[in-house]
Structure 1
Amino acid sequence: MADQEFSTASIDDFATWEPVLRLLLAEEAQEHVARSVRVAGRIGRESWSLPLTQPVPPPGRASQVEDMREEFDAVERVQHALVDAGIDDVSFTAETEPTGTTTLRLLGPSPAVEPGLGTPHPGALILVDGSIPEPWRRLPEPAPGAEPAPSADLELLERTLRDRLPHAIGATEEEISATEARLGVVLPDELKVLYRVTRARWEDLGDDYEAAVRESAAVRCELFDLDSLYVADASSRYCRWEFGAMEAVDTPADAMVQGLVGSPGWIAFGDNGGGDRLAVDLTPGPRGHLRQVIMLSHEENVGAALIADSVTDLVLDRPSAEPSSPRGQRPPPVAHVNHASLKSIEAAAHPGLEVLSIGVWDGEPFSLAPVVGLPRLRTLTAYPGTLADPLQIGELAGLEFLELGPQEWRVLLDAGAVPRSLLAAAIVVHGNQDPLPIVALANEILALWDRPQIIQTVLEGDLGHLS
């Protein structure tokens, strides 16, 4: 019966939203029975953000799905409608009069706007179609002198693997060649040896979990099958614009691994069991070895850690023979100015500065004069009220990403001073602010680049008297 109801639900039908609105109003109406009530939230296909107080389970019992059944059912109704409409995510705000008359506004989506993160307010505004943060555009530096580690030993590697996995089914040369054609890269010899011993297919193990565990122990990782091998270039490491713009690629002269988001020379072949990917590195850092093994952390957006000098070392569980030497002291490309970090813009300024983040600050607002003219500054984020003169932003010639509070954006818009070099932008919103003025502000910014607007769909309904 529930599925039949979902199949007839439309995202533009007030009845689809009514269960969600009733839940939200149940928390608000007690305090606002004599005046209108405003609620807002966001619902996506895979997640949602609603200002609801979560029920507290009885002492001695953990929270259970049934404790939130009403919320789950209400949200699921909207999610089914999103799927039917081909929409990934939508924000909303609703105004309900004491009589129950309700005006619901659906906000978006827009192909030029990322969804808000845990908020009904818009996320990053993509001002140039297809643009990505600078670290995601960075390619590896050439390493013409890089050589494989002396520890790479094809015969030892194969002998060790066959001793550990005597019954494994190896890949054929045709299967290896097909993988190389799919990836557009020749697999390193050590990887070929590895897959000639075992092709790591689940069906080859007869659905035997213990056999899979033994194979992972033998090769020191959860090995991908050949169909799952991939090139871990920058596009494989998704990141929201507002987070990606805060990153920087940094590869010191003594680095074993280049501090990239991804590389066409990183061939991901396994997992450490915790979501971190292992890859053979064909574009090593200045002091690294060709075909060393690196790990890409799922908790980081940039860089990778050296795991072993070769696949042979990985399988034999031998640590890297050449750990990275301590890095020399130099100013970081990303600087944070706030009450807990740097205390002035002057302390952050240097020719290599790429990202300046001004956070919570109790003192006098900052002047941006110390960073005017810096050749690499591309990202500026400023907590509301921390800039002495927002119009100084117009003197920062190379900005690609700008995040400001609504008032600072208002100053720039009214003066016609929004930097035209921007690729993306964001509006900082704190607290329970009405999304409608923020959406209107976002649309003004989008209009400067002739980008698709955040469309409002207005639905009317009656939820009954508030009591």
Structure 2
Amino acid sequence: MSALNDFATWEPLLRLLRSAHAEKLAAPGGYVAGVIGRGSSTVPLKWRSPEPGRASLLSDYQAQHDAIRRVRAVVPDTGSGGVAFTVEIAPEGRAVLRLFDLGPAAGSGPGNAHPRVLVRVEGAVPEPWRRRPEPVPGVRSAPSVDPEALERTLRERIPGAIGATEEEIAAAEARLGVALPEEVKVLYRVTRARWEDWGGHEEAESVHAAVGFELSSLDHLAVFDASSRYFSWEHGAMEVSVTLPDAAVQDLVGSPGWIVIGGTGFGDQVAVDLTPGPRGHLGQVIVVDHEQSIGACLLAESLTDLVANPGRDWSARRSWDRLPFVARVHHRGVPSVEAAAHPDLEVLNLGVWDGEPFSLAPVLALPRLRTLSASRGTLADPREVGRLSGLEFVALTPEDWRVLLDAGAVPHSLSAAAITVNGDRDPRRTIALANEILALWDRPLITETVVHGDLGPLPTSGPESTAGRGGEPQPPRPAGERQGLGRVLPGLPGTPEPGPGPGADG
């Protein structure tokens, strides 16, 4: 029996949850839900505040920390969001713990146990992550490029530095698969920037000051391509990659021509750019902001320019989160779908709206529309989503998904989708809906394992007892399976109620 499915593994956490949510659990149908992953967890426990005048101590939340760590230690390292769970605990102590294995096709939402993103195409990424640099005819190095002046300045600033050999530079080029610009070769001929060559932090700081950034060693040069930036479908599908004619840097997630040679010291990457924008220069120096998903900022037109004029500022501000590429229709944004319609529109977001719901008719024929996100009550007819033949990602409420599924109108072009859940909604119902979508796509379903145990009566005073009587798990089954789902709802013959188990979303 897997330790993850052993009631004893969960017992300390369940006792804390019962103590924190006794009233909710005692109510009819009451449950508590959460997610525990290898790297992070979302568990509804209140952390004890320190006494006024002192800092928090580990002892303030040791019990919570130990209980979560006990489970986390046995969560499989599968790269998914972790294990989602719900638990029901009767007043006398009988506990029903449901563990949901999201599998390779589903991911949990931020901060809750609901399955959020469903992936139809294995390995697919949002369109901006597929965008490659465009060739720029006639692109040249900047007039300021002067390898001799660069070398002379660097040797004056860092005398006695150990430089790389031509063989070492050639080996770096072979590893990267690109020919390095002459300025970069000059830089590393002066100093190969290995830590063991420096006497300590003071010498390292002198090198960084000489070049204008924290220089990486020749051995650590790297290509910053699209795979270098993390993405989630929910976030990535809402982004756009647009390079305008006057741009110095192409608006990309990454490029095979962005060669990282150092950093700013604040998590941002400094790179030489071999795929510049229409107004850029070959070998220009750019900064890739770690807080941005797309784009980079011009730092200097050349390494010669940067070394000669250090201490310059840069800004990573982008303005593509606007019309005509992205339209956010809500009570303080774009006033209508008609106003959002444009041939260049890629992302349409229907946000909080107090008026009549929208028809999608004005955008049905747009050639580039690939992402639709619609909040509750914003779609006049969810079936129109099925007529958007170019969609690769859609985020809808459970209610709109129900209409779309019943009409057989789920777009065939989707690579991924999301179920947008707001408020206190039973995750078991969302899981049943997610499995219906996954089954339509012939994708692996979310499975459920039920573990029974007994915590005994809730003590009337004193801390929760750590003694328990354990339990035996039931084998996994697809979540939402009709067997044993609950009683029949009055007035709806044959419809399972999502009581102790997940039911069909409605």
- Structure 1's unaligned 5+ residue stretches are 1-7
How many percent of aligned residue pairs carry the same amino acid?
A: 59
The answer (yes or no) to whether the contact 2:224–2:255 under 8 Å persists in 1 is yes
In the TM superposition, 1:153-192 aligns within 5 A as 153-192=146-185
**Offset from partner CA, 1:79-122 (integer Å, 9 cap, x none):** 21125788761111111111211111111131112332222112
The answer (yes or no) to whether the contact 1:128–1:449 under 8 Å persists in 2 is no
Of 284, 287, 293, which residue of structure 1 is paired with 2:279? 287
Q: Specify the alignment match of 1:98 in structure 2.
A: 91
In the TM superposition, 1:407-426 aligns within 5 A as 407-426=399-418
State the 1:33 CA deviation.
Answer: 3.9
Query: Which letter does structure 1 place at the counterpart of 2:378?
Result: T
Q: Distance in 2 between matches of 1:164 and 1:355?
A: 50
- Secondary structure at 2:278 match in 1: coil
1:377 is the counterpart of 2:369: yes
Q: Distance in 2 between matches of 1:282 and 1:34?
A: 63
1:337 is the counterpart of 2:350: no
- Structure 2's unaligned 5+ residue stretches are 460-506
Q: Distance in 1 between matches of 2:244 and 2:27?
A: 64
Of 344, 350, 355, which residue of structure 2 is paired with 1:352? 344
The answer (yes or no) to whether the contact 2:211–2:310 under 8 Å persists in 1 is no
The answer (yes or no) to whether the contact 2:85–2:97 under 8 Å persists in 1 is yes
Q: Distance in 1 between matches of 2:419 and 2:109?
A: 10
Of 407, 411, 421, which residue of structure 2 is paired with 1:429? 421
Q: Distance in 2 between matches of 1:339 and 1:466?
A: 48
Whose helix proportion is higher, 1 or 2?
1
After TM superposition, the structure 1 stretch with the greater mean CA deviation from structure 2, 140-149 or 87-96, is 87-96
The answer (yes or no) to whether the contact 1:161–1:219 under 8 Å persists in 2 is yes
After TM superposition, the structure 1 stretch with the greater mean CA deviation from structure 2, 84-93 or 70-79, is 84-93
Query: Which letter does structure 1 place at the counterpart of 2:158?
Result: L
Q: Count matched residues.
A: 455
The answer (yes or no) to whether the contact 1:9–1:16 under 8 Å persists in 2 is no
The answer (yes or no) to whether the contact 1:34–1:98 under 8 Å persists in 2 is no
Q: Distance in 1 between matches of 2:398 and 2:76?
A: 33
The answer (yes or no) to whether the contact 1:28–1:37 under 8 Å persists in 2 is no
1:55 is the counterpart of 2:56: no
Q: Specify the alignment match of 1:456 in structure 2.
A: 448
Q: 1:244 to 1:86 in 2, by over 3 A?
A: closer
Q: Distance in 1 between matches of 2:82 and 2:377?
A: 31
1:274 is the counterpart of 2:266: yes
The answer (yes or no) to whether the contact 1:10–1:85 under 8 Å persists in 2 is no
**Offset from partner CA, 1:422-449 (integer Å, 9 cap, x none):** 0000000112211111111111111122
Q: Specify the alignment match of 1:124 in structure 2.
A: 117
Q: Specify the alignment match of 1:248 in structure 2.
A: 240
Q: Specify the alignment match of 2:216 in structure 1.
A: 224
Query: Which letter does structure 2 place at the counterpart of 1:426?
Result: A
- Secondary structure at 1:69 match in 2: helix
Q: Distance in 1 between matches of 2:74 and 2:80?
A: 9
The answer (yes or no) to whether the contact 1:25–1:37 under 8 Å persists in 2 is no
Query: Which letter does structure 2 place at the counterpart of 1:172?
Result: T
- Secondary structure at 2:444 match in 1: coil
Q: Distance in 2 between matches of 1:349 and 1:175?
A: 54
The answer (yes or no) to whether the contact 1:165–1:215 under 8 Å persists in 2 is yes
Q: Specify the alignment match of 2:107 in structure 1.
A: 114
- Secondary structure at 1:82 match in 2: coil
Q: 1:84 to 1:371 in 2, by over 3 A?
A: closer
- Secondary structure at 1:114 match in 2: strand
Q: 1:413 to 1:87 in 2, by over 3 A?
A: closer
Query: Which letter does structure 2 place at the counterpart of 1:105?
Result: R
Q: 1:327 to 1:296 in 2, by over 3 A?
A: closer
1:197 is the counterpart of 2:190: yes
State the 1:31 CA deviation.
Answer: 5.1
- Secondary structure at 2:401 match in 1: helix
**Offset from partner CA, 1:395-453 (integer Å, 9 cap, x none):** 11100000000000011111111001000000001122111111111111111221111
Query: Which letter does structure 2 place at the counterpart of 1:229?
Result: L
State the 1:164 CA deviation.
Answer: 1.6
Q: Specify the alignment match of 1:307 in structure 2.
A: 299
The answer (yes or no) to whether the contact 2:7–2:451 under 8 Å persists in 1 is yes
Q: Specify the alignment match of 1:46 in structure 2.
A: 39
TM-score normalised by the chain length of structure 1: 0.92
Q: Distance in 2 between matches of 1:385 and 1:309?
A: 50
**Offset from partner CA, 1:293-317 (integer Å, 9 cap, x none):** 1111111111111110001112222
Q: Distance in 2 between matches of 1:9 and 1:447?
A: 27
The answer (yes or no) to whether the contact 1:132–1:241 under 8 Å persists in 2 is yes
Query: Which letter does structure 2 place at the counterpart of 1:76?
Result: R
Query: Which letter does structure 1 place at the counterpart of 2:177?
Result: G
Q: Specify the alignment match of 2:479 in structure 1.
A: none
Q: 1:92 to 1:153 in 2, by over 3 A?
A: same
1:14 is the counterpart of 2:10: no
After TM superposition, the structure 1 stretch with the greater mean CA deviation from structure 2, 373-382 or 18-27, is 18-27
Q: 1:102 to 1:17 in 2, by over 3 A?
A: same
